[in-house]
Structure 1
Amino acid sequence: METEKIDRKHFLKSLALLGGGALVVPTVLLQSCKAEPRAWSSLSQADISLLDALGETILPKMGDLPGAKDVEIGEYIVTMVQDCLAAEDQDVFLNGLTTIESLSFERSGDSFEKMDGGQQLALLSELQEEAIVFAEAHENSDPPQVHYFALLKDLVVSGYFSSELGMTQAREYLPIPQRFDGCIDYDEENDKPWAL
């Protein structure tokens, strides 16, 4: 009878420990899975989907016109930032991505890519206004200073309109060499701008 009591006590203690563990382990696992905003020190191929999402918010697909994602804008931006931007501008751009990611987490609890389209547009619209104010405040600064969103937008626009799809579908494409005609009729309502 005595050993039966000891075994029962041992069993109840074990059960309590297991029950407590069952409550603690899922909590620890869930906390370890919580997403955190990222800080950038360089760009890689893993960043292309985020850059595509940013580009598509700036220049979305409209009707049969391609969007920034269609022209693989993320890949273009990675190449341009790594190979063409000065070190100071790279720092501005990378710090800007970190800021965008932090703001996304503040507003939605997740990264920019996981926000819905309305939230993405609202965030980038605010950054556009911030970039305008920044440009006005630093208009005569020496050396010139650029806001990270203006840099991002310039990369999206230049990449879009220098791509094959941007030149041939978003604009009227006239391959060179070709005869030059400086005086042609142009209908502002219906004609696309020329890509020469």
Structure 2
Amino acid sequence: MMDRRHALGGIVAMFGAQIFAPLARAAGLAPAAAIPVIDQGAPSIQVFTPDQRILMTALCERIIPTTDTPGAIAAGVPAYIEKLLADWAVAEDRGPILSGLAEIDARSRQDYKLPAVKATPEQQDALITLAMNDELPDGEEFFEAFRQMVIVGYYTSEIGITQEREYLPIPGEYNGAFPYSQVNKVYSA
């Protein structure tokens, strides 16, 4: 059976040299320094304030929303991100995420006159697009790290592997010409 760390090791290659440090450490691609191996349980420290946690959760769902398959929230991505930042990150790794959330909230208050946690999904999309386009202070750094955590968290979750993709623990024969239209899913092995 594939575990999350094994799947993580396979996924991080798609991000290349710009992999967010805690993801690289968790996949065993970077030295863990003084960070112990922690696989289960609650985060060792509280990373987010309650409002930051709500905003982070909402933004996870904006990156991978619920469609005909469950989205980031259903896959447990927010808890994964908090665990990753608490137990695989050092203080300087958390900085871009926490400041990015603060910048998004400040911009929401400026543009929409309300905190980002109370913004509509469309307004949250606009705010995260500003970060993606580096139109917020250090927005691109926040967006790239956050997007990586959401994607990796989702596609290494049970939902991501078994519902979004088709998981075959023991692949059958190779058929390189199998029509995608007959499957409509990408296979994970």
TM-score range, shorter chain: 0.5 to 0.7
Which residue of 98, 109, 115 maps to 1:111? 115
TM-score by length of 1: 0.63
- Cα distance in structure 1, aligned partners of 2:102 and 2:125: 18
Question: Relative to 1, partners in 2 of residues 1:76 and 1:110: Cα closer, same or farther, differing over 3 Å?
Answer: same
Matched position secondary structure for 1:60: coil
Tell me which residue corresponds to 1:159: 153
- Cα distance in structure 2, aligned partners of 1:187 and 1:110: 48
- Cα distance in structure 1, aligned partners of 2:52 and 2:156: 21
Contact 2:47 2:85 in 1 (8 A): no
Within 5 Å, give how 1:22-101 maps onto structure 2: 42-43=47-48, 47-62=52-67, 64-101=68-105
> Number of residues paired by the alignment?
141
TM-score by length of 2: 0.65
- Cα distance in structure 2, aligned partners of 1:44 and 1:75: 14
Higher RCO (CA 8 Å, separation ≥ 6 residues): 2
Instruction: For residue 188 of structure 1, report the CA deviation from its aligned partner.
Output: 3.6
Tell me which residue corresponds to 2:35: none
Gaps of 5+ in 2: 1-45
Instruction: For residue 97 of structure 1, report the CA deviation from its aligned partner.
Output: 1.4
Larger radius of gyration between Structure 1 and Structure 2: 1
Which residue of 169, 174, 177 maps to 1:182? 174
Tell me which residue corresponds to 1:37: none
- Cα distance in structure 2, aligned partners of 1:179 and 1:52: 34
Question: Relative to 1, partners in 2 of residues 1:47 and 1:127: Cα closer, same or farther, differing over 3 Å?
Answer: closer
Within 5 Å, give how 1:141-156 maps onto structure 2: 147-156=141-150
Matched position secondary structure for 1:172: strand
1:170 aligns with 2:170: no
Matched position secondary structure for 1:68: coil
Within 5 Å, give how 1:125-140 maps onto structure 2: 125-130=129-134
Tell me which residue corresponds to 1:4: none
If each structure's helix is expressed as a fraction of its own residues, which one has the higher value? 1
Q: Could you say what the CA RMSD is over the residues aligned between the two structures, in angstroms?
A: 2.5
1:143-183 deviations in Å (ceiling 9; x for gaps): xxx701111111111111111111111001112xx255333
Instruction: For residue 115 of structure 1, report the CA deviation from its aligned partner.
Output: 0.6
- Cα distance in structure 2, aligned partners of 1:126 and 1:120: 10
